[in-house]
Structure 1
Amino acid sequence: MADKQENKTFEQKMNELETIVNQLEQGNVSLEESMDKFKTGIQLSEQLQDTLTKAEHTMAKMMDKDGNEVEFEASKDEKDDHDANKAD
Structure 2
Amino acid sequence: MKRFSCGEVVELTPAYLDDGLEEPVRLLLEEHLACCRECGRDLDQFRTVIGVLGALPPEPSENLREDVRDRLMSAFRSRKGH
Give the TM-score normalised by structure 1. 0.36
Task: Give the number of the structure whose alpha-carbon radius of gyration is greater.
Answer: 1
